[in-house]
């Protein structure tokens, strides 16, 4: 058996990082050698997340120590905090998948939606980690930016229409784990249960990823909604194409695009988030209604929308089978 690649998970106390730690820990070709956390350092990971069974104590991030222990890292910090951590690990030669927004966008877009970039010199080498769009570039990359959960779902619903799409309304329904582990009025059980609500109607930063990936000629309206789920995300996309497509034509585009994709299923009826829970799969469905194409994608925001996709990227970067440790 080949030696397993030593991997660290930076920021393993949050929801995405915790799942990343679990996936690396169980991965047949990876060896989880370190997990870090900012406020929970000192605690064992499996005390905080017993289900995941990661038997390591979380440590404070010390890039030198991590570089001694690991050849690759998943970084699961919030944006802005991620860039310096990524930079420190890249300087020490680690391959990195970053789950934050810091390396998803070109500098101009990033600074328009976020803030001045903390490590602009690295933007050039970063590859947008949607394997279904950039598999070959991910294979050769040292730094991959894991796409946002909303963007992943929307892009998987839209990529097959890339050449014909002119206008799209993206209406997202997302579970609460996407809002992170911090206890806030928004994440209080009493706020979430029996509730559905749009948020960031003034513009959500994930739409910048759509613009970048779909090209400037596409008009995008993007509104996320919070619904009472833990994990799960559904993107409903209402698309105007040119030329107009029949259901069969739209369907054919999807089948062609995803014929060989290991994690995307083109199905015959509308997708349910429950059907992909705790999997790295994305289920997509396309049909038409009047002149519009309707495309739906369901995924688990923590898996295919974050940590699962990050491991998929890592597999590609390390020359491992793309689906290893994810089935």
Known catalytic residues? 149
Residue 134 CB, nearest distance to a second copy (Å)?
26
The reply to whether 244 sits near a second copy by the rule CB under 8 A is: no
Asked if 233 and 298 touch (Cβ cutoff 8 Å), the reply is: yes
CA distance 62 to 195: 42
Asked if 159 and 209 touch (Cβ cutoff 8 Å), the reply is: no
Our CB check for a second copy shows the closer of 100 and 273 to be 273
Interaxial angle between packed helices 149-158 and 206-214, expressed in degrees from 0 to 180 and rounded to the nearest 10: 30
The reply to whether 221 sits near a second copy by the rule CB under 8 A is: yes
CA distance 90 to 67: 10
Binding window for a second copy (CB under 8 A); candidates: 75-83, 89-97, 109-117, 268-276 = 268-276
How many residues bind to a second copy according to rule CB under 8 A? 68
Asked if 287 and 198 touch (Cβ cutoff 8 Å), the reply is: no
Site string for a second copy, 36-65 (x = CB under 8 A): --------------xx-x------------
Answer for which of 57, 67, 81, 227 binds a second copy (CB under 8 A) is 227
Residue 99 CB burial class (10 angstroms; 0-12, 13-18, ≥19): buried
Asked if 209 and 278 touch (Cβ cutoff 8 Å), the reply is: no
Binding window for a second copy (CB under 8 A); candidates: 59-67, 108-116, 130-138, 281-289 = 281-289
Residues present in the chain in total: 327
Answer for which of 230, 249, 261, 324 binds a second copy (CB under 8 A) is 230
Interface residues with a second copy (CB under 8 A) are 15, 50-51, 53, 169, 171, 173, 175-177, 181, 183-185, 187-199, 201-203, 219-223, 225, 227-232, 234, 236, 238, 265, 270-279, 281, 283, 285, 287, 289-292, 294, 296, 298, 327
């Amino acid at each position: 058996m080949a030696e397993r690649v030593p991997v660290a998970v930076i920021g393993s106390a949050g929801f995405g990082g915790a799942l990343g730690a679990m996936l690396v820990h169980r991965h047949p070709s990876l060896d989880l050698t370190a997990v870090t956390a900012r406020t929970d350092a000192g605690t064992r990971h499996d005390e905080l997340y017993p289900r995941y069974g990661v038997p390591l104590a979380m440590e404070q991030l010390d890039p030198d120590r991590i570089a001694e222990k690991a050849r690759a890292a998943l970084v699961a910090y919030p944006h802005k905090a991620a860039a310096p951590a990524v930079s420190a690990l890249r300087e020490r030669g680690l391959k990195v998948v970053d789950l934050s927004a810091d390396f998803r966008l070109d500098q101009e877009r990033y600074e328009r939606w976020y803030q001045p970039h903390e490590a602009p010199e690295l933007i050039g080498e970063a590859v947008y980690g949607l394997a279904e769009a950039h598999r070959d570039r991910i294979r050769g990359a040292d730094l991959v930016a894991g796409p946002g959960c909303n963007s992943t779902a929307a892009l998987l619903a839209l990529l097959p229409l890339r050449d014909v799409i002119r206008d799209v309304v993206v209406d997202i329904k997302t579970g609460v784990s996407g809002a992170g582990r911090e206890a806030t009025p928004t994440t209080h059980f009493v706020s979430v249960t029996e509730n559905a609500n749009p948020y960031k109607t003034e513009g959500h930063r994930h739409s910048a990823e759509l613009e970048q990936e779909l090209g400037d000629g596409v008009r995008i309206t993007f509104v996320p909604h919070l619904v009472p789920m833990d994990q799960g995300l559904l993107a409903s996309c209402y698309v105007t194409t040119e030329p107009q497509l029949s259901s069969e034509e739209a369907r054919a585009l999807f089948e062609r695009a995803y014929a060989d994709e290991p994690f995307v299923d083109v199905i015959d009826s509308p997708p349910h988030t429950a059907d992909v829970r705790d999997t790295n799969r994305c289920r997509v469905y396309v049909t038409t209604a009047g002149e519009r194409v309707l495309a739906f994608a369901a995924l688990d925001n923590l898996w295919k929308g974050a940590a699962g996709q990050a491991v998929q990227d890592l597999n590609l970067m390390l020359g491992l089978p793309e689906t290893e440790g994810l089935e």
